[in-house]
């Protein structure tokens, strides 16, 4: 299991990615560090690219929501797109997080398609060059990372 994050070159969004069986308790310190980076300014939205991660457990949702509440001042007003794999369980848990996140003023939307997620996150039409560039950057980031390069969990 490995997790990492980066900020897109345009400064519009932060992306979290990983591979394997990532637990929320391993992700929280990584997210906390990202939320305190100077690049995480007001208006920076968030993409969780979970396409290569295993299905989260129900306990992970509770732990994630407790963390979100503790970070509410940094997360309120942001959009957060969660791209899951095709498993219905992953998508359903992302929907649950979205419902809970409304309570802290954050809009979370699950997707199974990266293009749809980024179009929503960045408020870009599907045929825009900016969207095409963002999708390419996210895919290249995932391809360039190997578990040995990523933050240990």
Question: Residue 46 pairs with which residues in a beta bridge?
Answer: 14, 80
CA dist 140 → 4, 105, 113 (Å): 14, 31, 16
Distance CA 143, CA 152 (A): 18
Instruction: Answer whether residue 91 shows pLDDT above 90.
Output: no
Instruction: State the Cα–Cα distance between residues 51 and 85, nearest whole angstrom.
Output: 4
Task: State pLDDT tens for residues 54-72.
Answer: 766 667 777 888 888 899 8
All domains of the chain in start order, with CATH = 2-152 (3.30.750.24)
Which residue, among 102, 104, 2, 109, has the nearest Cα to 46 in the 3D structure? 109
Q: Which pLDDT tens digit goes with each residue over 114-149? A: 999 999 999 999 999 999 999 999 999 988 875 544
pLDDT above 90 as % of the chain: 46
Question: Does the model's pTM come out above 0.75?
Answer: yes
């Amino acid at each position: 299991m490995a997790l990492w994050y980066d900020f897109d070159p345009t400064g519009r969004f932060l992306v979290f990615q990983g591979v394997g069986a990532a637990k929320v308790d391993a992700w929280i310190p990584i997210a906390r560090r990202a939320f305190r980076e100077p690049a995480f300014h007001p208006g920076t939205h968030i993409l969780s690219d979970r396409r290569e991660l295993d299905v989260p457990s129900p306990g992970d949702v509770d732990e994630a929501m407790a963390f979100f509440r503790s970070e509410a001042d940094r997360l309120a007003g942001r959009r957060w797109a969660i791209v899951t794999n095709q498993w219905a369980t992953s998508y359903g848990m992302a929907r649950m997080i979205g419902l809970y996140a409304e309570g802290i003023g954050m809009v979370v939307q699950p997707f199974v398609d990266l293009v749809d997620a980024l179009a929503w996150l960045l408020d870009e039409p599907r045929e825009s060059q900016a969207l095409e560039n963002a999708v390419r950057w996210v895919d290249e980031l995932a391809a360039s990372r190997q578990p040995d390069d990523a933050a240990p969990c």
